[in-house]
Amino acid sequence: MSTLIKKRQSLLPGETGKFAGSLSGVILFLAVLPILTMIVMSFSGSANLDFPPTSYSLQWYKAAWHTFVSPDASDVLSLGQAMATSLLVSCLTMIFATLIAVPAAYALTRCEFRGKAVALQLMSLPLVFPMVVLGLALLLVFDSLPFHMTTSRLVIAHVILALPFVVKNCTAAMLSIGTEVEEAAQMLGASPMRAIVDVVVPLMKSGILAGMLLAFIVSFNEFTVTYFLYTIDVMTVPIWMYSRTVSSLDPTVFSFAVLIVLIDFVLIWALEKLVGEGGVSF
């Protein structure tokens, strides 16, 4: 009897591993299913949106390319202009969020000050704040200003949304850097600021790179808050794609969505190659 119990117990870890693996596979499949559906629909050869498609072709990719090179007269803004706006806003968001996050991460890890716990909570607030309410609040604030803002208000809004990701990654990098490196630099004659710039910041490279790429991805894909702040002349790619689905669903949107997924995939792949999984904090 004891031999049978031991054999049964020896099988339990393997059975548990198989169950966990199967459960993880199901969850991963459900997460990827919408993307796979979108990719399949982008190759549909029929004029309607039946799923699964009855035939397959590249007609919607050809239509998407035609839309890109020869915008429709009915479009207020072309895809090229929307793409340029998205890239500009994302790059500016990445730069400004990093410039704010690096000193903030240093202060949060090295300095002790009154209200530090509150500052940490406020820094993470955009992650849990309802996006619709945040977009409406920002719209009211920007409209109450005595001057007009277009692209700049999109950048400010996106920096607010991306800042927690950049700060978390920079803080994680700072926690692995001991104070002795700064002390050694100062003992060799460097000023405190020089020690930070020449020693600490280079050691934070992994966290800074991770935060920068995450800020770009968050900004490039942001829709909810941007919906409240865009104008007819300044809109991002997600807003442009949504505008083509309001009256009737344009099948070329699936082709454009595949392009966006490929861009995000390349950025995430680059993030893992440049930084490694250990340097990324979500």
Distances 129 to 126, 135, 160 between C-alpha atoms, Å: 5, 10, 11
User: Has residue 54 been placed in a domain?
Assistant: no
Residue 44's beta-bridge partner residues? 56
In this predicted model, which residue has the larger pLDDT, 81 or 155?
A: 155
User: Has residue 12 been placed in a domain?
Assistant: no
Number of domains in the chain: 1
User: Has residue 263 been placed in a domain?
Assistant: yes
Burial 165-188 (b: 16+ CB within 10 A, else e): bbbbbbbbbbeebeeeebeebeee
DSSP structural state of residue 51: S
DSSP string, 73-120: TT-SS-HHHHHHHHHHHHHHHHHHHHHHHHHHHHHHHH---TTHHHHH
Percent over 90 (pLDDT), the chain: 11
Q: Which residue segment(s) compose the domain that 136 sits in? A: 75-279
User: Has residue 46 been placed in a domain?
Assistant: no
Question: Which of 41-45, 108-112, 219-223 is the least confident region?
Answer: 41-45
pTM: 0.79
User: Has residue 176 been placed in a domain?
Assistant: yes
- The 10s digit of each residue's pLDDT in 247-281 is 666 677 778 888 888 888 888 887 777 666 555 55
User: Has residue 58 been placed in a domain?
Assistant: no
- The 10s digit of each residue's pLDDT in 101-157 is 999 888 888 877 777 777 777 777 787 888 888 889 899 988 888 888 888 999 999
Give me the CATH number covering residue 243.
1.10.3720.10
